Amino acid sequence: MNEIGEKLREARESHGVSIEEAAEDLKIRPSQLKNLEEGNIKEFKDIFYVKFFVRDYAKYLGLDGDKLLDDFNEFLFDYTSRIPLDKIKEAKENKKIEKKEVKKIASPYTMPQKKNFFLSPKIIYVIIALIIIIIGYLVVSSFKSDDFIDGNTVYQYNI
């Protein structure tokens, strides 16, 4: 990382740009640019952002941003491959413990919503219409016969 930072510093100085000017143009804090040039990777919270800082800073200075990004990725591979497996396992276990300790806060916005049984109004109207049709059919079919029985007397009407 020191070689990358040295290339960035040399390019900045050759263009006559101060760290403050570059930081203002790139919308990055001057301390971040200074840490990039000095190779202080531990000063950054997330490596993901460092990659973008390196690429953007290199492009700003007229350097090949992709080439420097490749150099940074090689450095990152070498850096992470030196981490012992025990420390990686320990970090995973610590992360699991932290997840267990975190209590979920119940909020109407974060709680999963229960799905209620809901019929749309169109379906309700169709069901009501079917019931009315069935009742109407039964009423009409009961009066449709020509024979009306009243006790023992049978009346016939021809219409």
Choose among 101, 71, 49: nearest CA to 5: 71
Q: Which pair of tokens denotes residue 98?
A: 């932290």
What does the pLDDT read at residue 133?
Answer: 96
Kindly report which listed range (12-16, 38-42, 101-105) carries the lowest average pLDDT score.
101-105
Kindly report which listed range (12-26, 61-75, 105-119) carries the lowest average pLDDT score.
105-119
Q: What CATH fold (topology level) applies to the domain 2-81?
A: 434 Repressor (Amino-terminal Domain) (1.10.260)
pLDDT over 90 for what percent of the chain? 8
Choose among 158, 138, 154, 136: nearest CA to 146: 158
